[in-house]
Amino acid sequence: MTQRTVLVVEDEKISSLFLENVLTESGYRVTATASTGAESVRAAAAEPPDVVIMDVGLRGEMDGVEAAGIIQRQLGTPVLFVTAYTLGELERDDALPATFDLLVKPIVEQELIRKLNQLLGNTR
């Protein structure tokens, strides 16, 4: 089976490292990490991932919801939001990506992998 790829977008370095470690140990390949919305759009275009893990509250002019929307419009990539927000707090005038899921912090490793597998249609 081909190794699935993930773009990690998280502005907290320790959270980013945690996600990278969990993903690598679970057999995923992290294509890149980004800490801003603009970086995530560039990274996704440079090496399109199978899925994006996206923090909502990013520093800079573009938050995670906006960045995820751009990535999904350009590439059709599913997005797993990892955030302290609830789904109701994410619903805004701008559209959420068509294919997304939400994992509320603190992150539980097994739940992270389960949600990624669901988004990707994996049965592992």
Q: Is the pLDDT of residue 74 over 60?
A: yes
In order of start, what are the domains of the chain with their CATH numbers? 5-120 (3.40.50.2300)
Write out pLDDT tens, residues 18-56. Answer: 999 999 999 999 999 999 999 999 999 999 999 999 998
Model pTM score: 0.89
27-34's contacts with Cβ under 8 Å and 24+ in sequence apart are 27/3, 27/124, 28/3, 28/4, 28/116, 29/3, 29/4, 29/5, 30/5, 30/6, 31/5, 31/6, 31/7, 32/7, 32/8, 33/7, 33/8, 33/9, 34/7, 34/8, 34/9
Specify burial of residue 86 (Cβ count, 10 A radius: 0-12, 13-18, 19+): exposed
